[in-house]
Structure formats: C-alpha cells, structure tokens
Structure 1
Amino acid sequence: MKLSRYEQESILNYNAGEQTATLYTRDKTVMRKLDTLVADFPDTYKLTEQDEVSKTYSFPKSHVSYRKPRTVSTEQRERARQMMIKQNNSK
C-alpha cells in the first residue's frame, strides 16, 4: 500500500511511571532502522506488533534522547570544506 508523506507518521509514547517507550511507525525508513536494532539487540529492542503498513516497537525509554542543534562556525565549515577538497584530490 502506497502512503502519502503525511501518512508516514511515527508516534513515540512513554510516561514517567514506566521504563519502556513504545514507537508506532508507518515510515519505511524508521522501520528499517529499528528492524536492524531488533536484529542486533534483541534483548533491548522488540517488535511488538505489525500489519501491512505499520510496525510497533518497544525499548527502554532511556534510549530516547534529545539533543541541542549543532552549531558550526563559518571558520569550521570552511576548514571542513578544505579538508574534503584535499582528501578528494588525493584519490
């Protein structure tokens, strides 16, 4: 079944009273990433439900993280650009 971009949602659910988070997704990219985690870490990540368009996973809520946006100065960006140019030219 072909879903629109809007329908390819992911919903993360957890509360203060439990140690487990639940992730419901219809996004194929998220499913592939979590399927890999389920295969590599079966004691931590679990596939709990699935149907033809969605999957539901559970994992410790300690694995949910929030990060501040990365800030890169103009000088750092230029240095990284020059390093990549140098590396690409050496091949």
Structure 2
Amino acid sequence: MKLSRYEQETIVSYNAGEQTATIYTRDKAVMRKLDTLVANFPDTYKLVKQDEVSKTYSFPKSFVSYRKPRAVSMEQREQARKKIGLINSKKSYMYVQKMTIK
C-alpha cells in the first residue's frame, strides 16, 4: 500500500508513570532504523505490533533525548570541508591504484 508523505507519520509517546516509551510509525525509513536496533539490541528495543503499513516499538523512556542545535563556526565548517576533501582524494587514489594493479 502506497502512503502519501503526509500519511507517513511517526508518533512517540510516553508518560511520567511508566519507564517505557512507544513509537508508532508508518515511515519506512524510521522502521528500518528501529528494526536494526531491535535486531542489534533485543533486550532494549522491542517490536510490539505490526500490520501491513505500520509498526509499533517499545524501548526505555530514557532513550528519548532532546538536543540543542549544533553551532558550527565558518572556520570549523571550512576545516571539516578540507578534511573530507583529503579523505575523498585518498580514496580515489587508492581506487585508481587498485584498478591499475589488476
């Protein structure tokens, strides 16, 4: 079943009286991430319910977090850009070397 972008919702719910949070989602990307967590950490993340378009997961409420936006200066941004450029150039050099050796 094809859902519109609007219908691909994700709802996180928890309350002060319980130690667990639940996530109901119809978004395939969120499902993939949570399915990976369920597979890697079965004692922590649980798949509670699923149907043809949605899944519901349960996990400790303490894993829900709120973060402030990251502030990156122009200098930090430029340093990161140069570092990534260097990494990418090394990867392409290694790829060319590998291809010429064969």
TM bracket (short chain): over 0.9
Worse-matched range after superposition: 55-64 or 74-83? 74-83
Which 5+ residue runs of structure 1 have no aligned equivalent?
Answer: none
Deviation at 1:79?
Answer: 1.1
Mapped to 2, the partners of 1:86 and 1:58 lie a distance apart of 42
Instruction: Name 1:82's counterpart in structure 2.
Output: 82
Mapped to 2, the partners of 1:61 and 1:77 lie a distance apart of 34
SS at match of 2:76: helix
Instruction: Name 1:27's counterpart in structure 2.
Output: 27
Mapped to 2, the partners of 1:36 and 1:42 lie a distance apart of 10
Q: TM-score, normalised by structure 1?
A: 0.94
| Alignment RMSD | 1.0
Identity over the aligned pairs, expressed in percent? 77
1:51-90 alignment, distance < 5 Å: 51-90=51-90
SS at match of 1:22: strand
**Structure of higher CA gyration radius:** 2
SS at match of 2:67: coil
Worse-matched range after superposition: 76-85 or 28-37? 76-85
Instruction: Name 2:42's counterpart in structure 1.
Output: 42
Q: TM-score, normalised by structure 2?
A: 0.84
Whichever residue aligns with residue 42 of structure 1, its letter is: P
Deviation at 1:89?
Answer: 2.8
